[in-house]
Structure 1
């Protein structure tokens, strides 16, 4: 058997910078967006019965128990961390779990969900820019186009095709709610970029330690609510929602998102978050009998095209 010719140095460099997104990894990232979309529905049920910080604590309490179990079942336990890994996982828990939930729920308490979603739609673009500036990641013109198309599709779904009304809404005063949701976006971008520096840990180990750190920060911040709540007396729907958002919206989704960052980098992974509002709308239509508009179908198709452009070799 003859040895295949080596690629030129430039081609080898490009191949190194642009790793292949496998169909399995793509499916995991799509399901991650679906699980996060379903978390909006579960979150509404939980938020109606629990204070915001206590709700976030309940989510990651369930997630942390499951993650520790997964770590011991699949990897024989959690590795002992060195000083750098302790600081890195603490930063992951602080940014992507504690601060993100604090800012996100704080914004939802002050501004409409649609206005919040418009800011969240900027997440992939901000992540791509930050990855370029901080990590030196390279994206070609087609991939930047894909990010833009995916974001456009996401915005079409969020505003239901009414750009004039959305622009009028966004042109109003920039208040505390808007500031909080911008901080939420920056917190998630920080989590995504910090994840790159924690790649010496497995996705399960990194996600578990980050969740445990986030749980600790939430326990400190919401101690009074946690101790005063009648957890046993909660409705079964709240417990089902907590299990869903903890097991699928956190354990599976965070591990797969982290695997995506490890496989193809933060910018190409973050573009899949454009599918979150689309999945939330579709699940609301199926579970809550909400109408499906033509703008949702158009926006969903554009987002899928954008994701494909960004990750196509």
Structure 2
């Protein structure tokens, strides 16, 4: 009897672990807004992005080599697919995000990207006939959009409408990049030819190389002696937390749930991003914005947690077995 209870707890933890991993990822992604804002105050955003993902890529490479010394080498096809995913989720996403950030308020990006990413992901998968949306999931997505609208309405801005709309368009393209990144990564992991750590490493490294190439013309303009110690602390945190650890946890969760479920968790990023901005930067948030963030969080909970029933889409996706072999899924 004790063994049965222990096994039951182990199974419940195994079923919950991908969602816990994704939630931790979103907390770190949310904290990256405040941390990155401090860094770009002292460095060009191209250089800041290259330092963040360059450092994160090096950490992942060291970890991957240390844990896979005797592992079977990955194939060329898997490596190329992971590199392509990195160009989407690391390079393209950050390129359009920072471009949008230079034209529109950061609060627009913190709402548009995490809310539109699951919508775009679901739309693509539905159009391809690879997923079916349940009524509960649609309700959660709808609440997420309502919460985003309320959050954006309460933000307010002094930016010109034309400039802000241009920036928001780049945020939309960034959201498309992240949605495609999630789908490509999910497909790659479902084939079982590469594990999450090495997939993350290859993706981050390829995206970081592209970002570093983009940053080269801006490096000479930096007065490195004037960069504060606190800025370097934030760069180190961005490399370790929101990059190396967060991307690895995202791949871990993505290996066990559908791509749309993984991106739906991004509804929580505006909530966490606002929290860290208030805590560390002293920024304020209006009551209506807090209401919007709460509604978005409720939408994420309904779409991800309440939708996970035996008849749901993820119920048809077997989790990783005790021998560590990933089963093929219909959603992939």
**How many angstroms apart in 2 are the aligned matches of 1:157 and 1:66?**
36
SS in structure 1 opposite 2:172?
Answer: helix
User: Residue deviations 1:126-156, cap 9 Å, x none?
Assistant: 1111122236122211111112213333443
* 2:269 alignment partner in structure 1: 276
- Name the counterpart of 1:15: none
Equivalent-residue separation in structure 2 for 1:220 and 1:71 (angstroms): 24
Give 5+ residue unaligned stretches, structure 1. Answer: 1-19
Deviation of 1:297 after TM superposition, in Å, equals 4.3
Q: Is the aligned partner of 1:148 residue 2:142? A: yes
The 1:62/1:135 distance shift into structure 2, 3 A limit, reads farther
Q: Which residue pairs with 1:90 in the alignment?
A: 83
Shift of 1:227: 5.7
**CA drift at 1:233:** 5.1
- Tell whether 2:204 aligns with 1:211: yes
* C-alpha distance in structure 2 between counterparts of 1:100 and 1:70, whole Å: 24
Cα separation, partners in 2 of 1:232 and 1:79, compared to 1, 3 Å? farther
TM-aligned CA deviation for residue 178 of structure 1: 3.2
Query: Compared with structure 1, are the counterparts of its residues 80 and 267 closer, same or farther at alpha carbon in structure 2 (3 Å cutoff)?
Result: same
Select the residue among 49, 66, 69 that pairs with 2:42. 49
Shift in Å, 1:118: 4.0
TM-score scaled to structure 2, two decimals? 0.78
Separation in 1, partners of 2:169, 2:284: 31
Distance 1:112 1:293 in 2: 15
- Report the Cα distance in structure 1 between the residues aligned to 2:213 and 2:162, rounded to whole angstroms: 35
Paired residue secondary structure (1:110): coil
Paired position in structure 1 for 2:117: 123
CA distance 1:222–1:300, change in 2 (3 Å): closer
> Residues 74 and 303 from structure 1, CA distance in 2 versus in 1: closer, same or farther, beyond 3 angstroms?
farther
Task: Find the counterpart in structure 1 of residue 184 from structure 2.
Answer: 194
| Partner in structure 2 of residue 110 of structure 1 | 103
- Contact (CA 8 Å) 1:154, 1:278: kept in 2 or not? no
Deviates more, 1:245-254 or 1:24-33: 24-33
Distance (whole Å) between structure 2 residues aligned to residue 220 and residue 290 of structure 1: 33
How big is the shift at 1:34? 1.2
How far is the alpha carbon of 1:75 from its aligned partner? Answer: 3.6
Q: Which has the higher contact order (CA 8 A, sep 6+)?
A: 1
Q: Deviations over 1:37-93 (max 9, x none)?
A: 111111111111111211111001110121122223444378633232132122112
* Pick aligned residue for 1:309 from 290, 293, 302: 302
Deviates more, 1:217-226 or 1:253-262: 217-226
Match of 1:6? none
Match of 1:182 in 2: 172
TM-score scaled by structure 1?
A: 0.82
Tell me how far apart the structure 2 counterparts of residues 233 and 72 of structure 1 sit (CA, whole Å). Answer: 35
Cα separation, 2, equivalents of 1:74 and 1:148 = 42
Structure 2 vs 1, CA of residues 77 and 276 (structure 1 numbering), >3 Å: closer, same or farther? Answer: farther
Give, in whole Å, the separation in 2 of the partners of 1:283 and 1:117: 12
Distance in 2, Cα, partners of 1:271 & 1:77: 36
The offset of 1:253, in angstroms, is 1.3
Partner residue, 2:3 = none
Q: Deviations over 1:7-34 (max 9, x none)?
A: xxxxxxxxxxxxx983332222222111
Aligned residue in 2 for 1:224: 217
Contact 2:267 2:299 in 1 (8 A): no
Q: Which runs of 5+ in 2 are unaligned?
A: 1-12, 310-332
Could you tell me which residue of structure 1 aligns to residue 53 of structure 2? 60
What CA distance in whole angstroms lies between the structure 1 residues aligned with 2:273 and 2:87?
Answer: 26
Measure, in 1, the Cα distance between the counterparts of 2:14 and 2:151. 26
